Amino acid sequence: MAQSHPCPPKNSWKSKMNQAKLHRLVSDQFREKDSNALFDLRLTTNLSLIQHLFFSLYAEEEHSEAFKKLLNQLPKLFATRPDALKKQDVQRLKDGNWYQSQKIMGMQLYVEHFNKDLKGLQHKIPYLKELGINFVHMMPITTRPKGESDGGYAVNSYHEVDKKYGTKEDLLELTSEFRKQGIFLMLDFVVNHTSNEFSWAKKAMKGDKKYQGYYYTFEDDTIPKEYEKTLPEVFPETSPGNFTHIPEMNKWVMTVFNTYQWDLNYTNPEVFMEMLANLVKLVNMGVDVVRFDALAFLWKKIGTISQNLPEAHNLIALFRMCLQVVAPGVVLLAEAIVAPTDIIKYFGEDQKEGNECEIAYNASLMALLWNSIATKKTQLLYKSWAHVPPKPKDCTWINYIRCHDDIGLGYENNLLYELGLNPEMHRKFLLDYYCQRLDWSPATGQVFMYNPKTGDGRITGSAASLLGLEKGLAQNDPEMIEGSIAKIIMLHGITFAFGGIPLIYAGDEIGTLNDYSYLKDKSKKNDSRWLNRPMQDWDMIAKLDDEKRPQAKIFHALQKLIRIRKENPVFADCNDVQLYHTGNDHILVFERSNSKKEGLLVICNFDENPQVIETSWVKKLGYFAQGDPKDLVSNKKIEINSGLLEVLPYQMFWLQRA
Ligand code: GLC
């Protein structure tokens, strides 16, 4: 799966050299292509960092034996890596930052909601290819408790495939087919917690002290009460508090998410080493990107909110540095849905720069897009983006408009104040707008996890339903339907063009509506995120030739935008996104450019009325150097007569500077 390096070498060498680049250099320098020799070189290259990170977490006086054990463990883990993947690792090192390529286009899916099981998914590869998808985030597929399991995020095992999805052989067959067809696979590593049925939890419940030490367990609630003073609640409606009393062992255990998800105790180095082994088993099944689930929560400290702590960063970098020695072709995605300034830190800072996670969710852009739709204005997006620190050159975003989770309203209060908005009232307005409390709003979402103690709430709903398609169809309102189609296309188009890996939630490409069937399922009805995890509608997909259908319009428009993205290197992420103010608060403009002077100017209107922008500055950027510029979306040259460019409601231009 050779992918040429998307950014010109000159550009990329300007950045600080991270360990991955050092490995590339080292493996190029040495003629020796024996994989064991390369492993030794990688270990030597990363060793001092591994040592530093390990002892920053585990005091040397107490844990020098554990460190020796880790050093012993790494070659053993490498020995378990299949030859085909070892070969691919070396090739990936050569290929460079494949994840920054414009050729990558992602889709997130629940296997059972897509096409039943792993074999079913394999069967639908042609559909993925037809749309242009070559990166798949498959939601958890390993064994989990019967009944509630947080969609598999309560894990009973890190590598046993749950039989409802098929067998391990089915998974291996699928990953090998993906490799043949040039499709990258992302799987979750649920690194923060296991289920209460995981073997360690079961042993702990039986009184085994060793395994009780794998979790945060307490004799009574004295220490838990100290933690609770500052810990927020993740699921306040269904799982209030952060500790659960377990009668079987008569102890309290930390359960930050659901009561059946026990937080792992990483202050114990044995936990780190066992989890590293689990991680390697997972990637050895053919995983290209590991989604580090809930990684902000990995380290806990009394008196703090126990998120984004410096020790959590050191721990993640330690995982990264060890995995890089064993499986250098695998990259990490940070699932940190936190403040923009905190997200950036998961790319690594200082010595860790570029050595923590290569990819992170662009949760900031996602939340700001929803704010812009509801307010029809883009000022908060501009203001907030100006506060996002630059990311390291070798790192990239996953850009998305929504995922399987809820949409949180994590805007910075001081910026809301600067815009003259009261943060509390503004959040209430957004919840009202999206969750059916305003008659005039086209959205049909629902409130998720409202916390009366803090007034916080989040939003659930499929993209199409949040953008008005459900209501438009129910009311047979052609204007609302057309508006929603335009919004669905524009929001996706922004994520395709922003720089990074776009990730479409399966079904959004055909405007799938909310799925209310979860209310009939006892194990799901208390979690309204299932509203936005609909079944893939293959009957509808069979009818996409009928161009008049809203679903067909969305599908064909996105398919075309994907094709355009893949054909134009300017879409590759070279850390070049630049926002421009136009003086019109309804408009968003950003530019992408590369060192070949190629440029792409994205212009979007978030208002329901046509808007105009003055264009002399666009000329200065060189877009008219060869006559009127072409809009890649409509494949037409744009004409500007009076010096003003008209942008229709929810229209998106992709102007090309050749
Ligand atoms: C992540 C997942 C979410 C899950 C949580 C706990 O945030 O995206 O779905 O509930 O982790 O594992």
Angstrom CA distances, 122 to 138, 172, 213, 331, stand at: 12, 11, 41, 23
190 lines ligand 1 (CB under 6 A): yes
Q: Say which residue the tokens 């107490």 belong to.
A: 62
CA distance 26 to 643: 54
pLDDT above 90 covers a percentage of the chain that reads 90
CA distance 493 to 462: 17
- Per-residue pLDDT band for 11 (boundaries 50, 70, 90) equals very low
**Residue range 319-331: average pLDDT?**
98
The pLDDT assigned to 332 comes to 98
- Per-residue pLDDT band for 174 (boundaries 50, 70, 90) equals very high
The pLDDT assigned to 9 comes to 46
Rounded to the nearest angstrom, the distance between the alpha carbon of 193 and the centre of ligand 1 is 10
CA distance 618 to 196: 58
What is the 3-state secondary structure of 525-549?
CCCHHHHHCCCCCHHHHCCCCCCCC
CA distance 273 to 275: 5
The pLDDT assigned to 641 comes to 79
The pick from 156, 192, 257 for probing ligand 1's pocket by mutation, whose C-beta has the most ligand atoms within 8 angstroms, reads 257
The pLDDT assigned to 34 comes to 84
What is the 3-state secondary structure of 588-646?
EEEEEECCCCCEEEEEEECCCCCEEEECHHHHHCCCCCCCCCEECCCCEECCCCCCEEE
Contact 97, 6 (CB under 8 A): yes
Q: With a cut of 80, say whether residue 77 has pLDDT above it.
A: yes
293 lines ligand 1 (CB under 6 A): yes
Tell me if residue 584 falls in helix, strand or coil: coil
Q: With a cut of 50, say whether residue 188 has pLDDT above it.
A: yes
Q: With a cut of 90, say whether residue 35 has pLDDT above it.
A: no
pLDDT single digits (tens) 191-204:
999 999 999 999 99
Vertex 405, ends 588 and 382: CA angle to 5°?
20
Residues in the chain: 658
Which atom of ligand 1 lies nearest, measured to the CA of 337? Answer: 7
**Residue range 557-570: average pLDDT?**
98
CA distance 487 to 526: 30
The pLDDT assigned to 597 comes to 87
Rounded to the nearest angstrom, the distance between the alpha carbon of 280 and the centre of ligand 1 is 21
CA distance 443 to 437: 10
Angstrom CA distances, 114 to 1, 125, 184, 535, stand at: 25, 11, 17, 6
Count the helices and strands in the chain (H runs, E runs).
Answer: 25, 23
150 lines ligand 1 (CB under 6 A): yes
- Per-residue pLDDT band for 26 (boundaries 50, 70, 90) equals confident
Q: For residues 257-268, b (16+ Cβ closer than 10 Å) or e, as one string? A: bbbbbbbbbbbb
The pLDDT assigned to 477 comes to 98
- Tokens linked to 631: 């809009």
DSSP string, 509-526: GGT----GGGGG-TTTTT
Q: With a cut of 90, say whether residue 61 has pLDDT above it.
A: yes
The pLDDT assigned to 32 comes to 58
Residues paired with residue 656 on neighbouring β-strands, in sequence order: 600, 630
Q: With a cut of 80, say whether residue 276 has pLDDT above it.
A: yes
Nearest to 604 by CA among 558, 650, 570, 550: 650
Contact 447, 459 (CB under 8 A): yes
**Residue range 213-228: average pLDDT?**
98
CA distance 173 to 138: 15
Q: For residues 368-393, b (16+ Cβ closer than 10 Å) or e, as one string? A: bbbbbbbbbbbbbbbbbbeeeeebbb
> Alpha-carbon dihedral of residues 557, 563, 564, 570, nearest 10 degrees?
140
Rounded to the nearest angstrom, the distance between the alpha carbon of 580 and the centre of ligand 1 is 35
The pick from 405, 458, 523, 533 for probing ligand 1's pocket by mutation, whose C-beta has the most ligand atoms within 8 angstroms, reads 405
CA distance 9 to 16: 13
Contact 493, 561 (CB under 8 A): yes
**Residue range 639-645: average pLDDT?**
88
Rounded to the nearest angstrom, the distance between the alpha carbon of 206 and the centre of ligand 1 is 28
The pick from 110, 144, 153, 530 for probing ligand 1's pocket by mutation, whose C-beta has the most ligand atoms within 8 angstroms, reads 153
Q: With a cut of 50, say whether residue 3 has pLDDT above it.
A: no
- Per-residue pLDDT band for 351 (boundaries 50, 70, 90) equals confident
| Residue spans of alpha helices (H) in 247-403 | 269-283, 310-326, 340-344, 363-375, 379-387
**Residue range 568-590: average pLDDT?**
96
The pLDDT assigned to 27 comes to 82
**Residue range 328-344: average pLDDT?**
95
Q: With a cut of 90, say whether residue 219 has pLDDT above it.
A: yes
Mean pLDDT, rounded, of the chain: 95
What residue type is 574 in one-letter code? C
Closest Cα to atom 8 of ligand 1: 405
Q: With a cut of 90, say whether residue 595 has pLDDT above it.
A: no
Residues 6+ positions from 374 with CB-CB distance below 8 Å: 429, 430, 433, 434, 441, 443
CA distance 431 to 222: 37
Q: With a cut of 90, say whether residue 454 has pLDDT above it.
A: no
CA distance 159 to 139: 13
Active-site pick, 89, 117, 335, 353: 335
Q: With a cut of 50, say whether residue 376 has pLDDT above it.
A: yes
**Residue range 301-315: average pLDDT?**
98
The pLDDT assigned to 7 comes to 52
E-only strand ranges, 418-518: 446-451, 456-460, 501-505
Q: Is 162 a catalytic residue?
A: no
Active-site pick, 293, 353, 356, 456: 293
Q: For residues 180-195, b (16+ Cβ closer than 10 Å) or e, as one string? A: eeebbbbbbbbbbbbb
Other Cβ atoms less than 10 A from the Cβ of 125: the count is: 17
Q: Is 311 a catalytic residue?
A: no
- Per-residue pLDDT band for 475 (boundaries 50, 70, 90) equals very high
Q: Sort strands 446-451 and 630-631 into parallel, antiparallel or unpaired.
A: unpaired
Nearest to 158 by CA among 287, 267, 266: 287
Tell me if residue 556 falls in helix, strand or coil: helix
Rounded to the nearest angstrom, the distance between the alpha carbon of 313 and the centre of ligand 1 is 19
Q: With a cut of 50, say whether residue 2 has pLDDT above it.
A: no
Nearest to 56 by CA among 256, 342, 391, 321: 321
